[in-house]
Structure formats: C-alpha cells, structure tokens
C-alpha cells in the first residue's frame, strides 16, 4: 500500500549514523503531536544501542502523505526495565528493547 502514498520532497541526502552499538543514549523528553513511533514510557530514559537497524523513511512525515525522506537511522535501544519503571518488581535483569529513530536520541555521558 505504501506505493499509493504521494511522493513529495524527494531528497537523496544521506543522514549519517551517529551512534554505535553499546553507546549510551537518552531518549529526548519531547512532547509533540502527530504520528510518533517513540512510546511515552521511554522518553527521558537512558539505554544502550543494541543494534543499528538501517535507514527508514521518517514515520512522522509518512503518516501525512509526505515521502519521509531523507530516511533516518533507526536503532534498537535496550533499557533495563527498572530504568523505565523505578518500582519494577519482577527481576532486576529484565529488559525492554525499543526501536527508536535517531532524531529522538541524544548521547548520554553519564
């Protein structure tokens, strides 16, 4: 069905991958409307890059009929469940991995 989305603002620019596997990152604590793929429960929290998934069109643009280009680096970020939920009771080692686009991340230097 994606072929039916009108393509506008075709851009060939490549957005560089800014974070490497193992690097600590923080999810921006932004509050904004629109079609976001960054769940609220991880905003403002820190995790570690688990893998770089590649570049994908920006869903926040795609949802409104734009091309979503240039494609943005997408990461899997690993969070400790206790980081996301300070009162998490179940087991200290449990973790949650979430796909997050680069523009939602910033380096966390501790």
Partner 1 sequence: MADAPVSSSVVPTASAMSTASAASAAAPAGATASATSKSGPADLAQGDYRRLQAAVEELLILKGIVNRDEIDREVAAMDARSHQRGAAVVARAWCDPQFKAQLLSDAPAAVRSMGIEFGPMHLIVVENTPAVHNVIVCTLCSCYPRALMGMPPQWYKSIEYRSRVVREPRSVLAEFGLTLPPAVTIRVHDSTADMRYLVLPQQPEGTDGWSEQALAETLSADSLVGVALAKVAG
Binding residues (CB under 8 A) for partner 1: these are 1-2, 4-5, 35, 37-39, 41, 53-54, 56, 59, 62-65, 74, 76, 81, 84-85, 88-91, 93-101
Minimum distance of partner 1 from residue 65's CB (angstroms): 8
* Phi/psi at 27 (5° precision): -80, 130
How far is CA 58 from each of CA 35, 36, 46, rounded to the nearest angstrom? 10, 10, 22
Residue 28: both structure tokens together: 């921006």
Residue tagged 């509050």 (tokens):
31
Q: Which is nearer to partner 1, 84 or 110 (CB)?
A: 84
Q: Which is nearer to partner 1, 92 or 109 (CB)?
A: 92
């Amino acid at each position: 069905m994606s072929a039916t989305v009108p393509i506008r603002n075709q851009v060939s620019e490549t957005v560089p991958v800014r974070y490497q596997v193992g690097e600590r990152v923080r999810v921006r604590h932004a509050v904004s409307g629109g079609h976001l793929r960054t769940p609220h429960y991880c905003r403002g929290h820190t995790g570690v890059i688990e893998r770089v998934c590649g570049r994908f069109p920006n869903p926040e643009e795609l949802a409104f009929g734009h091309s979503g280009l240039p494609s943005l680096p997408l990461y899997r970020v690993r969070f400790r469940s206790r980081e996301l939920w300070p009162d998490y009771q179940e087991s200290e080692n449990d973790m949650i991995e979430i796909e997050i686009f680069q523009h939602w991340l910033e380096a966390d230097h501790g």
